[in-house]
Each structure stands twice: as structure tokens, then as C-alpha cells.
Amino acid sequence: MGWPRIVIGTSNRGKVREISRLYADLPVEWVAMGDLGRPPETAETGATFRENARLKAEAVARWSGLPALAEDSGLEVDALGGAPGAYSARFAGPDATDAENVALLLRRLAGVPIERRTARFRACAVLWWVDGCVDEADGACEGRIASAPSGRSGFGYDPVFIPEGQSATFADLGREVKDRLSHRARALEGLRPAIMRRVAAGPGDVGKMVGT
């Protein structure tokens, strides 16, 4: 009998790789939702990371008939009143690229001294099981915003985010450091016990169809 399958509810391939890597030791087959066909388009209408993650997880679970893990995350910059926050992925517009979002962020922070460029990444991870039960976990990583992008690793705002206690950006530090310190890693670690409980209960508890 194969491992239970859980769908990763995101079209962001960087997140798919990161989640699969962070959970590589678990006895689960992680499936990118795009590999199952055309996924539903879920409007991120929530005002918080948790609300958006729940919307995505439920939609993907009902569409796929499998448990779904969704995550919503973003950057909060103190000098910008917490922006871009839940709008991090579309800060520069609904179809903005990572580079465009970063460029807008740096323009908004032009002239702000380093001591006032404090920020944090926040994440909420939600696992929507096919029986309708939901597990959730949050994670955060404090830091500050660099004056210019640096590094080639990661995605999103990684080239301008310097985590607390470090002198280089996530994009400079590389994936091993990010996997240890990041907001997403901390949120996913919080879900680990719930996943293990379900796996231990057997495949029928993990993978039956929604509504059956």
C-alpha cells in the first residue's frame, strides 16, 4: 500500500518545492495541485493570512477529493503600517512579478533609515482534511528590509529580507538557513504532529473522498 496523498494547494512552484523539502521525512506523498488537472481559482478575499489559507485549503480539498495543505504568507513592514501584509503577492498589482513587488517596496521605503526598516514574515498553514476537520498553525520570522536586493536563492521578498541575527538576506543565505528560520518552516512544523496523527490512524482516515 502506498503512502497517503496530500495535495499542496498552491500554484507557486517555489512554495511547492519548499513544502515538499520541509516535509520530505514524512510518510506522505505530496502532490502539486497542478499535477491533478486544472485547479479551481480561489479568490483570496480574506483580510488575514488565516482566512485566505482556509479558503484555498477547502477549495482544493473539495476539488481534488484529497486532503489539502494551503498556506498564506506575506511581509509586514512596520514603517508602512504593516503593509503589504495579506496583499504581499499582489502589492504592485494583481499580476505583479516578484521583482515588481520588491521594487515597489523599496520605493516606498526610500529614505527610511535601517533602524526603522523592521519587518517580519508571517505565515499560516492550514490542512483541510476530507472529513471536514481542519488543522492550523502560524509562524513568524522577524527581520529588516535591506536597501537593495541581494542573492539568488528563494523567491518573493527573499532578496530584501534580512532575518534577525543575520547580516545577509534569505536569498543570500540559501535554502538550508531559510528552512531553519523561515516563517513558513515554523508554521509547517506546527502542523507536523497533526499530520503524523492522521497517518498513524491509517489511509482510510487520511484519504477518503469528501462527502463519502
Residues that are catalytic: 72
| Long-range Cβ contacts of 149-156 (<8 Å, 24+ apart) | 149/102, 149/106, 153/178, 154/14, 154/178, 155/12, 155/14, 155/15, 155/98, 156/14, 156/75, 156/88, 156/89, 156/98, 156/101
Q: Are strands 29-32 and 5-8 parallel, antiparallel or unpaired?
A: parallel
How far apart are the C-alpha atoms of 172 and 163, rounded to whole Å? 11
**DSSP characters for 157-188?**
TGGGEEETT-SS-HHHH-HHHHHHH-HHHHHH
Q: How far is CA 44 from the centre of its chain?
A: 14
